[in-house]
Amino acid sequence: MPTISAAPGLLALGWDDGWATALAELCDPTLVPARVSRVDRGRCTVMTGVAELRVAAERGVELAVGDWLGVGPGSATGGGARIAAVLPRRCVLRREADAMGAAPPQIVAANIDTVLLCDALDGSLSPRHLERFLALAWQSGATPVVLVTKSDAVPAAVVAETVDAVKAVADGVSVLVVSSTTGEGMADVAPYLAPGRTVALLGLSGAGKSTLANLLVGAEILATGAVRKDGSGRHTTSHRELVQLPGGGLLIDTPGMRAVSVVGAGDGVERVFQDVEVLARGCKYTNCSHVGEQGCALAAALSDGRLERGRLESWLRLRGEPATSQLEVARRDIAKRKQRKAAKIADRRAART
């Protein structure tokens, strides 16, 4: 295994021996490692540890904020640096297309260590919303942590009630109460922001993500907006960006999500509903549909109060969504083939001119 031989700034971006091995396997000594900090239409910004570069996004290659790349010199006629390879991703926070196709599939962030799920005390993140966000976080391979934000905006009794409600659906997940205004709880967040570690902020619009990001960075790098009277937030973060924190950690803020599909996140759903999964093993029949059959352990748990009806209904609903993932994969494969075919035709036409 190759040792790390990189500038200290590259190490601060999360570079390690594992990434060095992946780069060495490309067998191209001209390549240098770089991490994607921002993706715009047609181009992206990458950090090499000693400089920031703007490089053209490769046609047909899906790049995500947080990706590690192998970047090489441009061609004799093409000028600047080129993206030679995307190194294998370790963790991927992915939002799949919903069952109706209204929201396209999208990689939200790559190679993250922790997902900080923001739940504003003056907002509208319901337990059902939180379950979906947790499923995505667990599916990514990263560790979810729930931040109950804006603790200064409500009485202490409301804070305690909200924390209890969050813990009821976030079993085994750390729940931290924070305020970007007073600084409450920020010391509890600090261990997740260690040098070289990457966190992603996730939540509904108006959950205080951008305000929290500005506090952590120590500068107004992201625009913030007011929350509407109905509790919903205004979209203030319109793109994803990887930024370095003063303490050495790395942060990715994400645009607020309203519709959250868990298509393809079956393992994540199971992790969120471990309590229900355990109860379901007690059903008399292995093919129990859990909608009132005789011998259903979940029906018994509802009757004696061990299981809340809303949680059971949410489990049944979210279990059904991952079943369509193969259809979505097939659709993406067809779309990619069409894109590749169109690109080849365009290249041939350009060569004739």
How many Cα neighbours within 13 Å face the side chain of 200?
A: 34
Residue with tokens 């950090």: 47
At 333 the pLDDT is: 62
**Crossing angle for the helix pair 127-140 and 309-320, nearest 10 degrees?**
40
Over residues 83-108, mean pLDDT: 77
- C-alpha span between 123 and 127 (Å, rounded): 12
pLDDT, greater one: 210 or 340: 210
Ordered alpha helix ranges (H), 29-178: 127-140, 156-169
At 176 the pLDDT is: 95
Measured CA distances, 182 to 147, 151, 179, 185, 245 (Å): 15, 9, 6, 9, 19
Mean pLDDT of the chain: 82
Q: What are phi and psi of 330, to 5 degrees?
A: -60, -40
pLDDT, greater one: 335 or 71: 71
Residue range 167-188, pLDDT digits in tens: 999 988 999 999 988 989 999 9
Measure CA 287 to chain center: 33
Q: What size, in residues, is the chain? A: 353
pTM for the full model?
0.78
At 173 the pLDDT is: 95
Over residues 274-284, mean pLDDT: 93
Where are the chain's structural domains? 8-86, 92-253
Residue range 228-248, pLDDT digits in tens: 444 444 444 446 889 999 989
Q: Which CATH number fits domain 8-86: 3.30.1360.30, 3.30.565.10, 2.40.100.10, 2.40.50.140?
A: 2.40.50.140
Q: Find out whether 274 and 171 touch, Cβ atoms under 8 Å.
A: yes
Band of the pLDDT at 207, cuts 50, 70, 90? confident
Provide the percentage of residues in the chain whose pLDDT is more than 90.
43
Residue 253: CB atoms within 10 A of its CB come to: 28
pLDDT, greater one: 339 or 251: 251
H, E, C per residue of 267-297 = HHHHHHCHHHHHHHCCCCCCCCCCCCCCCCH
Q: Is the pLDDT of residue 80 over 80?
A: no
Q: Is the pLDDT of residue 222 over 80?
A: no
Band of the pLDDT at 298, cuts 50, 70, 90? very high
What is the CATH code of the structural domain delimited by 92-253?
3.40.50.300
Residue with tokens 């193969």: 326
Q: Is the pLDDT of residue 58 over 80?
A: no
Q: How does DSSP classify residue 190?
A: G
Band of the pLDDT at 4, cuts 50, 70, 90? very low
Q: What are phi and psi of 188, to 5 degrees?
A: -75, -25
